[in-house]
Amino acid sequence: MADPTRLRAHEMAALLRSGEISSRALTEAHLSAAERQNHALNAWLVIYRENALAQADAADKRIAEARRAGTAALNALHPLCGIPIALKDLVSVKGGQATAGSKILKGYIAPFDSTVAARLKDAGAVILGKTNMDEFAMGSSTEHSAYGPTANPWDLTRVPGGSSGGSAAAVASFHTPLAIGTDTGGSIRQPASMCGVVGIKPTYGRVSRYGIVAFASSLDQIGPFARDARDAATLLHAVAGRDDRDATSAPEPVPTELLGLATSDDEAAAYLKGKRIALPKEYFVEGMEPGVAARIREAVGAMEQAGARVEEVSLPHTDYGLATYYIIAPAEASSNLARFDGVRYGYNDRSSGEFIADYIKTRGAGFGPEVKRRIMLGTYALSAGYYDAYYLKAQKVRTLIKADFDAVWAAGFDAICAPTSPTVAFSLGARTEDPVAMYLSDACTLPINMAGLPGMSIPAGLSDGLPVGLQIIGAPWSELSMLRLARAYEGITARAPWRDLEPAELQLTDDPTTPSPIERKERQKSGASAPGAGGHS
């Protein structure tokens, strides 16, 4: 058998059921790749080798018992049984760390499973470990992690996007076929775009947030990373659904058809016929790289040639999305992060013996600069005299943004297509000193969170040798049709040359002398050259 890490999750599932491969062998192959290459990527904060192999053995036993019981029992197993998966390090797994990329949660061990983790365990998935992320999911490059930045396997001098950059890089590097991330303003879709994988932000309320370290509670949503639409749909099916422990979790039924996306490319492509696709002119923002705009228009043009109807529309309040988000999200963050004080868990500084002084020192040293910046912004926006001027006004604009999307659905469109990111992956360190430039990375993704809509990013080719993501946006609860559209695009581009390409610098990660992302960033600051640096910098 060829390298099993190159298989899609649905291909792995078929081999597991036929007995041609074991979950232990699959897990071992992925663990070995992750352990060997992580020094150059820093995609993983912790790898649970022993636990993962124990879960793999349990999955093998479960599959063997089902095989003995007959076809019906085998078919009753969830397709994720025995499949490796990675979790962003803000997902609680009993007995494991959940740092949220922050020093203030270093040493914290979760005493319970999040709903997402519990559902994955019930399905028989194998949890390999936890992936790197921007601290408390605040960032667009995974450079704000307290544990160092993550590198992009397409070019090791560049970022993987963020805040779920570790999960995206791990999937792109074939360390895992599937991963979980969170998306508050684009933190699944933007890194999926920059790493050339599939990433889904479901409708707000589709997936329970119980046991997930919160950033902004009215915006956060958990979602999957995968290498194609079928695998992403399978992972979404496993984790979605009502949860009584999360008051914002919706009772909306999870479509069983998520497990039945078209297997044939021709069958998948046929879904495009007659579909109305909206192309919002405001999403081709000023400063968008020409290569990105070209790939998106080519992708939409290919859909049109396959039978879709594409029409330009206007979402007039899009320009207010960035400002509105950076009032609402920090305001909610300032409230959510008040609980991290060093009294009950995580990092603490008790050097003075005075409670207030130690509280201030703990939060001062435990939080990084980006988190402090957003706490300050949010506290200011909620303070007396400014609540009405900022926070209340932002919530009113949020309603207008949602109304723009509602008008598109009322006009009979099936989906909206747009760029995911206005640029390809940028260089490590390029935007860390300019927060506004960093915030603009999410200009095309933020409005979807403001409106609570489902959205996803799928690979749409390359620009200057780096991945470009096509964003598909759907009406509320339309994940199934959104995924069918994504699968259709995969069908019509199945023979495109870029489909067969692997990340250009992945082979460098096997060399133990390749610098780590922390070393690269330091060398860039000092102006020194980095051995093995990519050709895109």
Is 187 noted as a catalytic residue in this protein? yes
Among candidate residues 22, 88, 164, 275, the one labeled active-site is: 88
Q: Could you give the CA distance from residue 456 to residue 448 in angstroms, rounded to a whole number?
A: 10
Residue 190 CB neighbour total at 10 angstroms = 33
Among candidate residues 23, 140, 187, 334, the one labeled active-site is: 187
Are the C-beta atoms of residues 252 and 365 closer than 8 Å to each other? no
Backbone φ, ψ for residue 435 (5° rounding) = -55, -35
Give first-to-last CA distance, the chain, whole Å.
Answer: 37
Q: Residue 182: which of 145, 224, 147, 218 has the closest Cα?
A: 224
Q: Residue 325: which of 475, 186, 476 has the closest Cα?
A: 186
Residue type, 308: A
Q: Could you give the CA distance from residue 51 to residue 48 in angstroms, rounded to a whole number?
A: 5
Q: Give me the residue label for tokens 């500084």.
A: 349
Torsion, Cα 405 408 410 413, to 10 degrees, reads -130
Is 163 noted as a catalytic residue in this protein? yes
Using the CB atoms, write b or e for 323-351: b if 16+ within 10 Å.
ebbbbbbbbbbbbbbeebbbeebbbbbee
Task: Take residue 77 and report the two structure tokens written for it.
Answer: 């197993």
Is 249 noted as a catalytic residue in this protein? no
Instruction: Classify residue 108 by burial, with Cβ atoms within 10 Å: 0-12, 13-18, 19+.
Output: buried
Q: Nearest-5° angle of CA 437, CA 442, CA 445?
A: 165
Residue 273 CB neighbour total at 10 angstroms = 11
**Beta bridge mates, 277:** 310, 415
Crossing angle between the packed helical segments 23-41 and 49-69, to the nearest 10 degrees: 150
Strand 126-131 relative to strand 84-88: parallel, antiparallel, unpaired?
parallel
Among candidate residues 92, 102, 163, 427, the one labeled active-site is: 163
Could you tell me where the DSSP H helices lie in 337-434? 355-366, 369-382, 393-410
Q: Residue 31: which of 7, 59, 16, 53 has the closest Cα?
A: 53
Q: Residue 306: which of 272, 267, 263 has the closest Cα?
A: 272
User: Which strands make up the sheet holding 198-201, listed edge to edge?
Assistant: 44-47, 126-131, 84-88, 179-182, 222-226, 198-201, 455-463, 466-473, 415-419, 276-280, 309-313
Are the C-beta atoms of residues 393 and 444 closer than 8 Å to each other? no
- Residues with active-site annotation: 88, 163, 187
